[in-house]
Structure 1
């Protein structure tokens, strides 16, 4: 069956994937009509398939939770938020921690009572946390040890209630276990509209401060059911052999940070709906990932390309092909084309896939899997049906012809509601329901998209988006710096890392290592430039006297090729 025929068949025969025209905030869309309207309904609807698939539902180290236990914790947490803190519908509640079960429980407890989950990047400094907390207006923060330490200077200033989780449980006046002990489940019925706000996730943009992406329940649920439908499409396009063994229970390994959409949506939320077991890693370790995949019979892994590469090396060293894996996807950054045949050879039983999505699209977007991707590893994939539309626009907003490079622009109910407190930035990218992504690409006669460049000044380091202006703003805080311009430097393992060209003030001296140490107090470690060029005179500029980032990058990389003394 062709892809188009499979889509038409499912739309006509499977009620889960029925669609209808809807009007959202004055704009007409196509959306799923029979899906859960919000996260609380998702938990309720998934109970049957989760029970049928067996226990456990959630694994973290030696901890194992049934689905019933997981939902019970969620209900008690909602009760704590309501009775202890007076949290009401629409109120922001922040989460700042590494991957752990409490993060997932909090996400669902907050959103299923109609409040808004605010995800804070666990790598942020105190300054960065300060910005996001003030921007989101969250005054309740659940945080683990290191995040609690970073939040400590803000508690009195912002009148925060910080609840210690895991290694912070016994270090402050409010502890997670203390609040949960003896607490009663949430017993209220809060009416949640499908277009109510669900979460705020911060995404780096071209401005110096991160943007709070406001996601709705409808956006997230439409993304989840889009991915569920892709699995059904794949089974119709390439049906399993009649004598194929019964498939393993779906088991997903969570390997990327849960404050990012790649982990929360196409892994966690999809895992709930698919009846999957979820195995959570606190942090990435390739050898441990191999052990978990074998022990828990993991079937699906979605991570940044660096993690796929690390997994290959570890599996080869440990002499295993990880036969339970049936799907290895990439998100957060583009996988190097040269990695694809190596993955196919190392993991012959797994479908190797690529995907493109954004925090602004609830991670929904474009993808390609299997043989077609093996044959064309440089492409981004096809638009996932059936609720998305796709255009390619020139700088004036006109649609370009197929095969011509334009800005990738998508329309779907999965798109964000807005950038929090940034109406001008919202208006710049959201026009009549269409989201201008800032990525440049083209589409061929087969509907396959190739991404060629970025309009935005972003460095994607191992899946982390880093705004060049964010880095430059921090570098300029050093009293010896006169000018600074950041850019992407190719890296074999991480894809890209941050480089910066710096001109010092007359008579000033500064060693690159000293600048890196200085930056550690102002920006997260992953944003700190790994390559620093100290230049004389002025940085290159274009005809309008703006800094010429591309020219500087080319100049610095040429210097790097001449010898290490230039960095």
Structure 2
């Protein structure tokens, strides 16, 4: 239950070494959500940032299985006074100082890491990642070193030795999003497993200036972000620095990875104009990685939201058959290979998501797509945020991406609102670019923009303008907030 910091990585790997199961905790959860997650995961030890100790003290009586609470004071703010009400509270630094080295033990590749995902509806679900799949998902990290995924301790040691001896430059990863989410966590595990290092920011909210100055100061080679939610502020800060005559030095950067939110061609091009990097836009989820990708470089631009299937991915129709490229048929996106084994204590949901096609198990989180004649896929969106309007299905993400291609739109959420005529009306909640105000003609202009690429039933019936679109710390849409805004505006 931590912000990004060294203690997050240290406590995770300490749990791995002791064959314990680390569980991520979203620090934005309400008391009810925290109680549910900690009870559902059968948590016995809680490592908590001093900023959240009062939250824990408030709900501890509802968590009889919790046996130990460790307080982390990453920023040196001093112990939280609420800790005095928690019997046996242990301070992280003192615990480390008092501990003896642990004895060597045998471990298993079937040991687990729990990645709890809130999704768009319902309570959090614990995705069970075996260590075998966590290591296997790091294949792209090992590839630049000329190594296949290591299969033994000796092979890991051999890779580390090549980095130590200077045969390969080490990776220095800066995960800009919180480690409590899969994108930053899985990338960090892969880099640490390949003898690299992880560089962390100290601010507790996203600060583009801090990120860029840290990239420059620490010679960061790899960066993970969350689409335009992070990229647009980065570009604005790069432009501001240039106007000040103090441009950032991004020459160390080799790879910028985004996952979870649309990353527009325009912001990629703005970054590529300033850094000779590969911009890798990845489709992944808590239930699997490597669904699809889109890689842009200076000499090879990539259109917004056009992806190629990963080597272990396919699109299957309702009959469990592969969608034929160019057929226009809609199917579900699936990935095989190193994947989780299911949801903790939820066999029914596990059976829905981890499905058997062609005699093997695939992870199918619910994203729909079509396969174009050239082999690329067009992502339609997730079924859980699909709007049923007058008998037609509208994928919110498809409409959002169309709206965000308009130059005046900074961000957008699309939701369905109950409507007597349509069943559910498609409603867009939009934040415009800084300095752009909504006029009488703005709504009509945005609808005209949508009609160029979307069928008529997908056009928003209403458009609501807000100062800014609320997103989580991982950059993902907060559809509950958007639905509340849309309902209140009726």
TM-score, normalising length: structure 1: 0.61
**Contact (CA 8 Å) 1:340, 1:374: kept in 2 or not?**
no
- Which residue matches 1:514? none
- Which residue matches 2:445? none
**Contact (CA 8 Å) 1:218, 1:413: kept in 2 or not?**
no
**Contact (CA 8 Å) 2:426, 2:460: kept in 1 or not?**
no
Q: Provide the rounded CA distance (Å) in 1 between the counterparts of 2:251 and 2:428.
A: 47
- Which residue matches 1:345? 273
Instruction: State the shift of 1:218 in Å.
Output: 0.9
1:287 has 2:203 as partner: no
More deviation, 440-449/283-292: 440-449
- Which residue matches 1:194? 109
Pick one of 71, 74, 96 that aligns with 1:164: 71
Pick one of 173, 176, 184 that aligns with 1:252: 173
What is the RMSD computed on CA atoms of the aligned residues? 3.4
Note the alpha carbon deviations across 1:12-51, whole angstroms, 9 max, x for none: xxxxxxxxxxxxxxxxxxxxxxxxxxxxxxxxxxxxxxxx
- Which residue matches 2:472? none
Q: Provide the rounded CA distance (Å) in 2 between the counterparts of 1:316 and 1:562.
A: 26
- Which residue matches 2:224? 302
Pick one of 326, 342, 353 that aligns with 1:429: 353
Q: For residue 256 of structure 1, give the secondary structure of its aligned residue in structure 2.
A: coil
**Contact (CA 8 Å) 1:539, 1:552: kept in 2 or not?**
no
Pick one of 106, 111, 123 that aligns with 1:209: 123
Note the alpha carbon deviations across 1:402-429, whole angstroms, 9 max, x for none: 1334334334342111111111111112
In 2 relative to 1, CA 196–303 (structure 1 residues): closer, same or farther, beyond 3 Å?
A: same
- Which residue matches 2:450? none
Note the alpha carbon deviations across 1:323-359, whole angstroms, 9 max, x for none: 2222122112121233222222232x22222111111
In 2 relative to 1, CA 106–407 (structure 1 residues): closer, same or farther, beyond 3 Å?
A: farther
- Which residue matches 2:51? 146
- Which residue matches 1:99? 4
Instruction: State the shift of 1:445 in Å.
Output: 5.1
Pick one of 404, 424, 427 that aligns with 1:548: 424
Q: Provide the rounded CA distance (Å) in 1 between the counterparts of 2:132 and 2:410.
A: 33
**Contact (CA 8 Å) 1:407, 1:437: kept in 2 or not?**
no
Q: For residue 548 of structure 1, give the secondary structure of its aligned residue in structure 2.
A: strand
Note the alpha carbon deviations across 1:199-218, whole angstroms, 9 max, x for none: 11111335411211111101
Note the alpha carbon deviations across 1:257-288, whole angstroms, 9 max, x for none: 0011111112x122213332321013321111
1:395 has 2:318 as partner: yes
Q: For residue 26 of structure 2, give the secondary structure of its aligned residue in structure 1.
A: coil
1:355 has 2:282 as partner: yes
Note the alpha carbon deviations across 1:416-461, whole angstroms, 9 max, x for none: 11111111111112122122231122334554333133222289xx
- Which residue matches 2:235? 312
In 2 relative to 1, CA 418–290 (structure 1 residues): closer, same or farther, beyond 3 Å?
A: same
- Which structure's relative contact order is higher, taking Cα pairs within 8 Å and 6+ residues apart? 1
**Contact (CA 8 Å) 2:257, 2:280: kept in 1 or not?**
yes
Pick one of 375, 384, 399 that aligns with 2:301: 375
Instruction: State the shift of 1:399 in Å.
Output: 2.9
- Which residue matches 2:34? 129
Aligned length: 387
Q: Provide the rounded CA distance (Å) in 1 between the counterparts of 2:306 and 2:78.
A: 42
Instruction: State the shift of 1:382 in Å.
Output: 3.1
Q: For residue 173 of structure 2, give the secondary structure of its aligned residue in structure 1.
A: strand
In 2 relative to 1, CA 110–443 (structure 1 residues): closer, same or farther, beyond 3 Å?
A: same
- Matches of residues 430-509 of structure 1 in structure 2 within 5 Å? 430-432=354-356, 433-444=361-372, 446-457=374-385, 495-497=411-413, 501=417
Q: Provide the rounded CA distance (Å) in 2 between the counterparts of 1:168 and 1:541.
A: 58
Q: Provide the rounded CA distance (Å) in 2 between the counterparts of 1:455 and 1:154.
A: 34
More deviation, 446-455/148-157: 446-455
**Contact (CA 8 Å) 2:141, 2:194: kept in 1 or not?**
no
Instruction: State the shift of 1:168 in Å.
Output: 6.6
Q: Provide the rounded CA distance (Å) in 2 between the counterparts of 1:315 and 1:154.
A: 43
Note the alpha carbon deviations across 1:116-165, whole angstroms, 9 max, x for none: 00101111111111110111010211101232222212212213332111
Q: Provide the rounded CA distance (Å) in 2 between the counterparts of 1:458 and 1:178.
A: 50
More deviation, 487-496/157-166: 487-496
Instruction: State the shift of 1:97 in Å.
Output: 1.0
